[in-house]
Amino acid sequence: MSLKNSVDCLEVLEDRIRKRECVVGIFGLGYVGLPLAMCFTYAGVKVVGFDIDPKKISILSGGKSYISTVSDLQVAEALNLGFSATSDYKAASELDSILICVPTPLNQYRQPDLSFVEKTLDALRPYIRKGQVLGLESTTWPGTTEEVVVPAVESTGLSVGSDIAVVYSPEREDPGNQEYSTANIPKIIGGATSRCLRVGKALYEIGVQEMVEVSSLKVAEMSKLLENIHRAVNIGLVNEMKIVSDKMGININEVIDAASTKPFGFVPYRPGPGLGGHCLPIDPFYLAWKAREYGVNTRFIELAGEINHYMPMWVIEKVSSVLNNYGKAIKGSSILVLGIAYKKNINDTRESPAIELIDQLSKMGALISYSDPYVPKFPKKRRYSYSLTSVDLCSRTLRSFDCIVIATDHDVFDYDLIEKSSNFVIDTRNRINRGPRCIHA
């Protein structure tokens, strides 16, 4: 086939995209993939969602949602508009675009684990063809798309930039944020070639209001890491400031409120029991790992990661101190953890510091319960397994525990009730005034 005809297949694809006749495939229907699938569906294109978890497919096919940021009504409406969900990769044969939104966790050595991306590409290999656009959204190190995705595509005999378009467009989801969603968050995109960039941008413009073009795949990949490392480092700073302030008898939240009155040069970050979510606890180590290939030690970034990783133990030290003052040890004490999602008002428990608190306190012999209306049953995790269900809060229940730990400050919690009815409260989120039965940690 001549180069002209090869280029023509992308021209045909771009025309189908602009006419909204394309079929979009979303691989990985989690907190990134499912909102993205809804976004494209509501914009008027056919979307097929893929996930290896048959439970997710069953739930979605029944018109229900399993994440708090997408409602049952949204899923039901999407089904009526033509959205479908499947675990059968044979359905990928009809796709014009392939968008990969699978997890990129760390392994036990805090090294990048791209197995989900690689397995998805392997499964897709028979269905990758001319006239498609393939995009990666998963957060990863700069160079991943060039080093992993492009070779996988070219192993099929296709030429990137002429037969098929390859782009990287990092997700920017903020679960629980009522102001910003997939559709109105500006979306960064980089292409393997300028032609790839043009086709990929046309695709995303179907459902996203503003696209931000960058000059390369690596710039797009690095921008995502910078966004999250910026937050992780600043949270690490404020967490360390919290420890220092606590030793000095100073309320760090009052300090932050005071500093926030400066109209320039200061951005407030709030301390907590540690970092959670798929991005902030993980992304700094992706860059640190890749930087070592270039002989660079990212000491500043890794130090912030160590501080944030330590914070659950800081909370446990506070729990131990409180119980000790009442002649109790952690072993044998009944402790109720409020909130196990990684942030308030959502059901996402990925990398939640509350779960690390539960695990460590349990290993120390505490009798642990939890309450979280967003997570009625303790989720299955690779490193944790507990047969727990959420406890309903009432005065009698709260009084039955030696100590209450506020780990996630859901707005639905009755903090007046918690303050009045608890024997003692360890508040990691500054939701209860300090008093004789409450300390901040």
Q: Are residues 96 and 166 in the same domain?
A: yes
Same domain, 253 and 194: no
Q: Would you say residue 229 lies in a domain?
A: no
- Distance from C-alpha of 93 to C-alpha of 95, rounded to nearest angstrom: 6
Do 163 and 195 contact (CB within 8 A), yes or no? no
Q: How far apart are CA 318 and CA 330, in angstroms?
A: 11
Q: What is the length of the chain?
A: 441
Per DSSP, the residues of 194-237 read HHHHHHHHHHHTTT-S-EEE-SSHHHHHHHHHHHHHHHHHHHHH
Ranges of residues in the chain whose predicted pLDDT is under 70: 1-7
| CA distances to 62, 349, 356, 384, 386 from 363, in Å | 39, 20, 11, 11, 12
Q: Do residues 160 and 265 both lie within one domain?
A: no
361 within some domain:
yes
* Same-domain check for residues 135 and 191: yes
Residue 164 contacts residue 199 (beta carbons within 8 Å)? no
Q: Which of 167, 191, 224 is the last residue of a domain?
A: 224
The pLDDT of residue 4 is 44
In a domain, 183, yes or no: yes
Within-domain flag for 414? yes
Structural domains of the chain, count? 2
Same domain, 255 and 146: no
Taking the C-alpha atoms of residue 167 and residue 199, their distance in angstroms, rounded to an integer, is: 9
Per-residue confidence (pLDDT) for residue 417, from 0 to 100: 95
Establish if 166 belongs to a structural domain: yes
Q: Is residue 239 part of a domain?
A: no
Regarding whether 138 and 25 lie in a shared domain, the answer is: yes
**Phi, psi torsion values for 106, nearest 5 degrees:** -100, 150
Considering the domain architecture, whether residues 391 and 268 belong to the same structural domain is answered as yes
Domain end among 224, 258, 279: 224
Statement to judge: residues 170 and 298 lie in one domain: no
The CATH number given to whatever domain includes residue 133 is: 3.40.50.720
State whether 298 and 332 are in the same domain: yes
Residue 93's CB is within 10 A of a number of other CB atoms, namely: 9
Last residue in a domain, options 224, 256, 276: 224
- pLDDT value for 123: 96
* Token pair 């608890």 in the structure block, residue: 422
Considering the domain architecture, whether residues 202 and 270 belong to the same structural domain is answered as: no
Contact between 55 and 123 under an 8 Å Cβ cutoff? The reply is: no
- State which residues form the domain around 265: 248-440
Cβ-contact 282, 139 below 8 angstroms: yes
Which pLDDT tens digit goes with each residue over 155-205? 999 999 999 999 999 999 888 888 898 999 999 999 999 999 999 999 999
Q: State the catalytic residues.
A: 279
Residue 219 lies in a domain: yes
Rounded-to-integer distance, Cα 185 and Cα 29, Å: 19
Q: What is the dihedral of CA 29, 34, 40, 46, to 10 degrees?
A: 50
103 and 194 both lie in a single domain: yes
Residues 312 and 404 in one domain: yes
144 closest CA partner among 126, 167, 162? 167
Instruction: Judge whether 359 and 341 are in contact, CB under 8 Å.
Output: no
